[in-house]
């Protein structure tokens, strides 16, 4: 079963934990599932709001990389128009 | 909903054949992790091919290193739900992810390998970092 993939045919980032940055104050960290006309569907998603949070976005991402993601939503769609960058969390940790 | 046990069985075997003790109930987890002494690796197994498909062979490679944990145990996420939930209670501030690996020394998590640190990496690469963690936290000088 080594290397066996259960979900062929999906996007390259399917199943990968990513950081989705937006044009607003919100940053999302979670597993990328898919993307369609509505936006990026993510699973087990943590959300950072730069307007509300006590820690900067960079610190939130760093802590997520070290300690894992504190899930705020099981499923969440980030509107495509809001997305400015998608980065693998593994590249940032 | 758990996968068909027959589908998952080879994934369990891939880990238990390495000498890992499989924990399938909360009681078994408490017996293994409660008052844990010495060095231990907890492998949180998973059906996910993206990550677990590399994590299992990475574990196999790392366990060939000259420094290894005294005990290796495994729970299976999405299958043995109570056991996994209980195991995660021993992981302190580390959030749930699967597959993942926790290194414990005398009951304290000293190193944690999350799913995002496994995704997209080769078994060799993961094993190299895991072996370095064995050296750092379980080496003779520790």
Cβ contacts of B124 within 8 Å, gap of 6 or more: B58, B61
List the domain range (segments joined by +) for residue A35. Answer: 17-92
Active site residue B50: yes
pLDDT digits (tens, 9 = 90+) for B25-59: 999 999 999 999 999 999 999 997 678 889 999 99
Asked whether B42 and B73 are in contact (CB, 8 A), the reply is yes
Instruction: Read off the pLDDT of each residue in B96-117 and give the average, rounded to a whole number.
Output: 96
Residues of B contacting chain A (CB within 8 angstroms): 10-11, 14, 47-51, 53-54, 56-57, 93-97, 112, 114-117, 119-121, 123
- B5-138 topology per CATH: Glutaredoxin (3.40.30)
Any B CB within 8 A of A87 CB: no
CA distance A20 to A87: 7
B46, B78 in Cβ contact below 8 A?
yes
Q: If you average pLDDT over every residue of chain B, what do you get? A: 94
Residue A5's pLDDT band, with cuts at 50, 70 and 90, is very low
For A:59-78, CB contacts with B below 8 A are 65, 67-71
Straight-line distance from the first to the last Cα atom of chain A, in angstroms, rounded to the nearest whole number: 28
- pLDDT over 80 (residue A11): no
A36 inside domain: yes
> Rounded to whole angstroms, how far apart are CA atoms B89 and B26?
10
Active-site entry in B9, B31, B50, B81: B50
State the catalytic residue, choosing from B15, B29, B40, B48: B48
User: Is position A86 within any domain?
Assistant: yes
Kindly tell me the burial class for residue B35, based on how many C-beta atoms sit within 10 Å of its own C-beta (0-12, 13-18, 19 or more).
Answer: exposed
Q: Please check the confidence at residue B23 and state whether its pLDDT lies above 90.
A: yes
CA-CA distance, B25 to A88, in Å (whole number)?
34
C-alpha dihedral, A49 to A51 to A56 to A60, nearest 10°? -10
User: pLDDT tens, A23-76?
Assistant: 999 999 999 999 999 999 999 999 999 999 789 999 999 999 999 999 999 999
Neighbours of B31 (CB within 10 A): 12
Interface probe for A, chosen from B61, B77, B116, B126 (most Cβ of A below 10 Å), is B116
In the block, residue with structure tokens 């758990």: B2
Count the Cβ atoms, other than its own, within 10 Å of residue A52. 9
In which residue are the tokens 């994590």 written? B55
How much is the ipTM here? 0.84
In a domain, A8, yes or no: no
Distance from CA of A51 to the nearest CA of B (A): 24
CATH number of the domain to which A59 belongs: 2.30.30.100
């Amino acid at each position: 079963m080594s290397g066996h993939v259960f979900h062929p045919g999906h996007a390259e980032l399917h199943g990968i934990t990513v950081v989705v940055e937006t044009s607003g104050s919100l940053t999302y960290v979670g597993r990328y599932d898919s993307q369609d006309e509505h936006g990026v569907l993510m699973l087990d998603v943590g959300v950072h709001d730069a307007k509300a949070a006590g820690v900067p976005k960079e610190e939130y991402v760093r802590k997520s990389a070290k300690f894992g993601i504190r899930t705020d939503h099981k499923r969440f769609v980030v509107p495509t128009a809001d997305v400015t960058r998608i980065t693998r969390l593994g590249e940032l940790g | 909903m758990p996968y068909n046990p027959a589908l998952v069985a080879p994934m369990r075997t891939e880990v238990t054949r390495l000498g890992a003790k499989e924990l399938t109930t909360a009681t078994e987890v408490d017996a293994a992790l409660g008052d844990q002494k010495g060095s231990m690796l907890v492998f949180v197994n998973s059906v996910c091919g993206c990550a677990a498909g590399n994590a299992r062979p990475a574990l196999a490679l790392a366990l060939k290193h000259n420094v290894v944990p005294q005990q290796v145990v495994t729970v299976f996420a999405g299958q043995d739900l109570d056991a996994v939930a209980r195991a995660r209670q021993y992981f302190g501030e580390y959030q749930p992810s699967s597959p993942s690996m926790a290194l414990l020394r005398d009951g304290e998590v000293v190193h944690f390998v999350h799913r995002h640190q496994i995704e997209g990496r080769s078994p060799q690469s993961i094993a190299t970092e895991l072996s370095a963690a064995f050296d750092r936290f379980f080496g003779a000088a520790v």
